[in-house]
């Protein structure tokens, strides 16, 4: 599944799943553009990649800002000499009862999770077409994009929206040879799930760690997911073995949600 000499851009690359995706794609042979809101963690990931003997560059951007996403893609192409793979990974969680969610909370999470993927899809498709490249767009959805979860209702809505965007974009860009797919992780042992567990405890009165434990116990394979598990699947979506796949949003969750 070589992607040697390809250029990949990963948003939300400073930590967690994004970091693991960047490391995996670099190990697979790609030059990687790392995008996040904060420079320090990006620089740290870039050093990791360079220490492995691979090329990396960083670009600080807020994915909810369309102009910044377009600028990130432009910078990646100019600095790395091409553009082949877009991973719209950046996202935030929100734990809140539907009855209590505020307009500000809805606006913020849709701007990051949905609009971030939309602007990334737009910018990547425009660049692929300009370069005459049959590129790959890969979006972050979730098990919550297949099932709506209590207290994660608005988060779930954003991830369902990403699946819809992925399907529509796959149809629109197929004539240009551009594929668009998504990946749907489950309970991943990252800082995001630490925050989800903490908020669940505040709302429900459960002990810290109890919600995380409950969800992990529901995983058929018997363990929490790692960022590397997700990255391995994204590697498949980025590589040539997935060339005949588009518009799909497979679950990579160890056996929690079944479709």
Catalytic residues: 155
At residue 81, the pLDDT reads: 97
* H or E, element range at 62: none
Backbone torsions φ then ψ of 225, nearest 5 degrees:
-75, 150
Residues 197-213 have pLDDT tens digits of 999 999 999 999 999 99
- The Cα–Cα gap between 86 and 148 comes to 27
- Region label for 65, one of left (φ > 0), alpha (ψ between -120 and 50) or beta (otherwise): beta
Residue 92: band (very low, low, confident or very high) from pLDDT cuts 50, 70, 90: very high
Q: Residue 179: what are its φ and ψ, rounded to 5°?
A: -100, 150
The percentage of the chain sitting over the pLDDT mark of 90, rounded to a whole number, equals 99
- The yes-or-no verdict on residue 1 having pLDDT over 60 is no
70 within 8 A of 44, measured Cβ to Cβ = no
Q: What is the pLDDT of residues 10-43, one digit of tens each?
A: 999 999 999 999 999 999 999 999 999 999 999 9
Phi and psi at residue 234, in whole multiples of 5°?
-60, -35
User: Which one, of 124, 123, 88, 111, lies nearest residue 10 by Cα?
Assistant: 88
Q: Give the pTM.
A: 0.97
Residue 241: other Cβ atoms inside 10 A:
12
pLDDT digits (tens, 9 = 90+) for 145-199: 999 999 999 999 999 999 999 999 999 999 999 999 999 999 999 999 999 999 9
Tens digit of each residue's pLDDT (9 = 90 or more) over 46-58: 999 999 999 999 9
Rounded percentage of the chain residues whose pLDDT exceeds 70: 100
Mean pLDDT of 242-257: 98
Helix axes 153-173, 116-131, angle to 10 degrees: 20
Mind listing the domains of the chain with CATH numbers?
Answer: 7-94+109-186+226-249 (3.40.50.720), 187-224 (no CATH)
Handedness of CA 209, 140, 149, 251 (dihedral sign): negative
Residue 2 pLDDT? 83
**Residue 84 main-chain phi, psi, to 5 deg:** -130, -30
pLDDT digits (tens, 9 = 90+) for 98-121: 999 999 999 999 999 999 999 999
Do strands 85-88 and 56-60 pair parallel, antiparallel, or not at all (unpaired)?
A: unpaired
Measured CA to CA, the distance from residue 205 to residue 6 in angstroms comes to 48
């Amino acid at each position: 599944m070589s992607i040697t000499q390809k250029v990949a851009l990963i948003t939300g690359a400073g930590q967690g799943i994004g970091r693991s995706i960047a490391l995996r794609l670099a190990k697979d042979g790609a030059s990687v553009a790392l995008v996040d809101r904060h420079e320090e963690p990006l620089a740290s990931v870039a050093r990791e990649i360079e220490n492995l003997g691979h090329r990396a560059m960083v670009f600080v951007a807020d994915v909810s800002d369309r102009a910044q996403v377009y600028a990130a893609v432009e910078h990646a192409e100019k600095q790395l000499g091409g553009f082949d793979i877009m991973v719209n990974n950046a996202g935030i969680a929100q734990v809140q009862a539907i009855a209590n969610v505020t307009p500000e909370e809805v606006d913020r999470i849709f701007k990051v999770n949905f609009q971030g993927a939309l602007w990334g899809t737009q910018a990547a498709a425009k660049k692929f077409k300009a370069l005459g490249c049959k590129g790959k767009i890969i979006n972050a959805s979730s098990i919550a994009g297949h099932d709506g979860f209590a207290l994660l209702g608005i988060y779930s809505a954003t991830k369902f929206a990403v699946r819809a965007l992925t399907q529509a974009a796959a149809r629109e860009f197929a004539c240009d040879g551009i594929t668009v797919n998504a990946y749907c992780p489950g309970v991943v042992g990252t800082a995001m799930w630490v925050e989800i567990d903490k908020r669940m405890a505040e709302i429900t009165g459960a002990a810290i760690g109890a919600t995380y434990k409950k969800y992990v116990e529901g995983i058929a394979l018997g363990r929490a997911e790692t960022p590397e598990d997700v990255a391995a699947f994204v590697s498949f979506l980025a590589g040539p073995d997935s060339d005949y796949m588009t518009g799909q949003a497979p679950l990579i969750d160890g056996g929690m949600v079944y479709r």
